[in-house]
Amino acid sequence: MIMGQYYKVVNKTKKEFLSPHSFGHGAKLMEFVSDAEGMLQSLAILLAEGNGRGGGDMRSNNPLIGSWSGDEITIVGDYADSGLYDIAKTYKDISDDAYNMLLEDDYIKERLEANKVL
């Protein structure tokens, strides 16, 4: 019997990862990719190059913004052949820092509060 596969977003370059549970999401792929707010929002902001130069950008000077730009990033499941899911357990979990980064922007904070993700 095949059980559900759990995922995390892994930055292989920086040896960091994001965990869906830290954002209030389930860890199965379709559980967290179906909701753009939370973890995927953090991922986009981590990957954003050039933030702060136009309207609609993240309103924060947090050093995490854009810190993953250009890095080798993957969404890896615990059944993946690479073994990266288990290797990533030794990496730094930046989920709480990334979530708190979202809360620095009033627009995002308001949306997370409205959707009870806080």
3-state secondary structure 78-111: CCCCCCHHHHHHHCEECHHHHHHHHHCCHHHHHH
Give me the pLDDT at residue 59, please.
87
- Express each pLDDT in 50-71 by its tens digit: 998 888 899 899 999 999 999 9
Q: Could you identify the residue written with the tokens 């627009």?
A: 107
**What is the domain count for the chain?**
1
Does some domain include residue 1?
no
Ranges in the chain, pLDDT < 50: none
Does some domain include residue 81?
yes
Prediction pTM value: 0.89
Does some domain include residue 97?
yes
Does some domain include residue 80?
yes
Domain that holds residue 86: 7-114
Does some domain include residue 2?
no
Does some domain include residue 73?
yes
